[in-house]
Chains A and B, each alone.
Chain A
Amino acid sequence: MLVVMKPHASEGEVASVVERIRSLGLTAHPIPGAQRVAIGITGNKGGLEPEIFETMPGVQDAIRVSQPFKLVSREVKEEDTVIDVGGVPLGGNTLAIMAGPCSVESREQVLEAAHAVRAAGARFLRGGAYKPRTSPYEFQGLAEEGLELLALAREETGLKVVTEVMDVETLPMVSEYADVLQIGARNMQNTSLLKQLGEIRKPVLLKRGPSATIKEWLMAAEYIVSRGNYQVALCERGIRTFETMTRNTLDLNAVPVLKALTHLPVVVDPSHGIGLRAHVAAMARAGIAAGADGLIIEVHPHPEKALSDGQQSLTPREFEELMRQVRVIAGAVGRAIA
């Protein structure tokens, strides 16, 4: 259920509603909005009547939320969530561009990549230090050394660092270095990890599971938000289908559907979504045209030597050209690029 306060409801009136919710053994989630405060209620097993709140001072309305996801839904919060990542917005009218190598491999590699993507217009540096590789025999990442190199690249370029956290054990260490914590596709329903992320106050980029429905994905986001961390962005990275010519099938249908259902920012990953370097730019353009709030793109100074994902990584030059194309499409849909 959602309790919507009147535009000029006092702090005391909001506090009494929160108090009332707690007294019923339920959890209150006050959500500040541009016009008014709303208070989400979770823990309701049914039987809660809106009238309990409707008569309280300062309350405009108490409504049932029809979707199984509550706090992430537009029913509960109409305004787009804009995450402030140390001064750089993720969400809102400005497109967030994240780029960099699949894995951090060396000091030279990540610095070269960071400078190149910065010059082309990215504001976030992506790079994995902990890598969930399909094969246990493949490069697993540089671990903390990789995180240190990402921090160094941030210092040199001012880019914000997006990097994956794979488990609860390494979460404190990764959050010490990262500006945005990425949850990989394979961990989308690692609910233990999701709960921990809900407890910290760091932006999270939640990738879609390879065979997760949109509803399951929003429920995963709800796990994080319901613990109090509202700084969640969703990342469509392609789903598993019968098609084998592309690595995944980028589900761009998800973009307008999500933008209608949730207030969270939606980022598109064309690199994993198609998995073929030659076609990443076309899919990046398509993602922006469909209404995505950002892009995350693999760029490697020397893709042919990459320890992972070389076949889908762009060269810095190709990325520069992609950015040129994306700017044109962004302009056409009235969006800016930082």
Chain B
Amino acid sequence: MFVAMKPHASAAEFQAVLEKIRSLGLTPQPITGTERKVVAVIGHVTGLDPDDLFGSMPGVAEALRVSQPFKLVSREVKEEDTVIDVGGVLLGGKAIAVMAGPCSVESKDQILEAAHAVKAAGATFLRGGAFKPRTSPYEFQGLREEGLKLLALAREATGLKVVTEVKDTETLEMVAEYADVLQIGARNMQNYSLLEKVGAVDKPILLKRGLSATLKEWLMAAEYIVSKGNFQVALCERGIRTFETMTRNTLDINAVPVLKALTHLPVVVDPSHGIGLRPHVPAIARAGVAAGADGLIIEVHPHPEKALSDGHQSLTPGEFEELMRQVRVIAGAIGRPVGA
């Protein structure tokens, strides 16, 4: 349920609505970033009539039930696109945000070389994993805090914002200290303890889609974060598990227009994991932007053949530069700038 105020409703009228919600044993959750004041009503609202309760209160424009099971992330509750301000760099809105960098942070030289290269090609975010959720316990697990320090160093050197994965509640505090955007990996999309914790921090979140999560389950996972008060969430489509084996995953580009209609959150596409084959990453990056994605996250490694992870899908800096050229052309064709 949500209550929308009239454009010129007074602060006192809004306060009265919040009081009324609390008096019913429910929690008011004001929605930010909207033109009109909107407050969501959280709690057990089954059987309550929104119009009966709030319709006649002064300053109230309308009080409605949200038809979707996801509430705060839905466009019904907030019509305007969410634009996340990551220390002056925007994620969401008209400009397409480009995040690029290696799968894993491997060394000082590697991360600095990658950061300078992607920055020169037009990226505004640096991706790189310090804590890696690898399929095999015998594979490289990341440099941990040392990796985070190297990411911070690369940020200092280039001005890029750092996107890095947080794997568990234990390391959340540490990762949040270094990261500008906290990535929740596909395998953690439904790690509800972690989602609740990142809902309580004041940091933008990039929530990757689970390998076999439906769009509804994914939006419910985002709702976990937002319902705890952190509205700075972006969704990242990274391919789903299907019967096809020629590609690493099947990038579900259908998800892009469907999500843009259902939610106000920014939608980012990860063509690197989505197809998993270096020569085809640019084609599918173009497709993502043409479908309406708000951003791209792409694996770039100065020497993919020597990468400790995901070398087969990482672009060289030269290939990334060419991809950016192609993406700019597609973005231009639909009237969107790249980077901000």
Contacts and interface: CB of A to CB of B under 8 A. Distances in A.
Contacts of B274: 253
Contacts of A245: 214-216, 258
Interface string B254-266: 1111100100000
A242 B212 contact: yes
Interface residues of A, number: 42
Nearest to B285: A289
Contacts of A257: 246-247, 275, 277, 280
B250 A288 contact: no
B334 interface: yes
A244 B212 CA distance: 12
Contacts of B215: 243, 245
A290 B214 contact: no
| From A241, A328, A333, residue with most partner B Cβ within 10 Å | A241
Given A245-B215, A245-B216, A253-B250, A282 B257 contact: yes
A282 B291 contact: yes
Interface in A232-268: 238-239, 241-246, 249-257, 260
Contacts of A70: none
B281 to A, nearest CB: 9
| From B242, B254, B284, B334, residue with most partner A Cβ within 10 Å | B254
A260 B283 CA distance: 12
A274 interface: yes
Given A245-B214, A329-B330, A329-B333, A286 B252 contact: no
Contacts of B216: 245
A282 B283 contact: no
Contacts of A186: none
Interface in B275-289: 275, 277, 279-280, 283-284, 286-289
B286 A290 contact: yes
A232 B256 CA distance: 31
A314 to B, nearest CB: 14
A173 interface: no
Contact of B251 (A253, A291, A328): A253
Nearest to A276: B258
B335 to A, nearest CB: 9
Contacts of A276: 258
B257 A287 contact: no
A211 B291 CA distance: 24
A246 B258 contact: yes
A317 interface: no
A253 B284 contact: yes
A119 interface: no
A242 B218 CA distance: 13
A283 B280 contact: no
Contact of B253 (A260, A283, A291): A283
A19 to B, nearest CB: 37
B338 to A, nearest CB: 13
B261 A279 contact: yes
Shortest Cβ-Cβ A-B pairs, 7 listed: A289-B290, A282-B257, A256-B283, A290-B287, A286-B291, A279-B257, A256-B280
Interface of B: 212, 214-216, 239-240, 242-247, 250-258, 261, 274-275, 277, 279-280, 283-284, 286-292, 326, 329-330, 332-334
18 contacts: A214-B244, A238-B254, A241-B252, A242-B212, A243-B255, A246-B254, A253-B274, A255-B287, A256-B280, A257-B277, A260-B280, A273-B254, A279-B254, A282-B292, A285-B290, A286-B253, A329-B290, A332-B329
Interface of A: 211, 213-215, 238-239, 241-246, 249-257, 260, 273-274, 276, 278-279, 282-283, 285-291, 325, 328-329, 331-333
